[in-house]
Amino acid sequence: MAEAISKTPEPPYYAVIFTSLRTEGDRGYAAMAKAMSRLASEQPGWLGEESARDGALGITVAYFRDLDSIAAWKAKAEHLAAQRLGRERWYAAYQVRIARVERDYGFTAP
């Protein structure tokens, strides 16, 4: 999981927003989340990710260069297996949203 704000390029680029409600217990979730984060970071077109969890509610935002990069990530065999396990073991519900980032600005303290 990311522990910093992603450094993304000048827009436009895309954000995949994954919001989830977890079931009780880990049952391999933490290890799979770490593996998927590593695998995603190796994908062509991947720009970074940010993730937060508060109890059962979690939000991960993954940034990609373009829609083709997102489609390639979604079709990756290891990711497909994780999606199946997520529905079977780890999530009570989830929602995926894909958005085009048009503007990007921020602040960093000195």
pLDDT in tens, 20-79: 999 998 898 889 889 999 999 999 999 999 999 999 999 999 999 999 999 999 999 999
Angstrom distance (rounded) from CA 55 to CA 31:
18
Range of the domain at 25: 13-101
- Read off the pLDDT band of 14 (50, 70, 90): very high
Is residue 18 situated within a structural domain? Answer: yes
**Which residues fall within 8 angstroms of residue 39, CB to CB, at 6 or more apart?**
76, 78, 79
Instruction: Count up the domains in the chain and report the number.
Output: 1
pLDDT at 1 over 60: no
CATH number at residue 83: 3.30.70.100
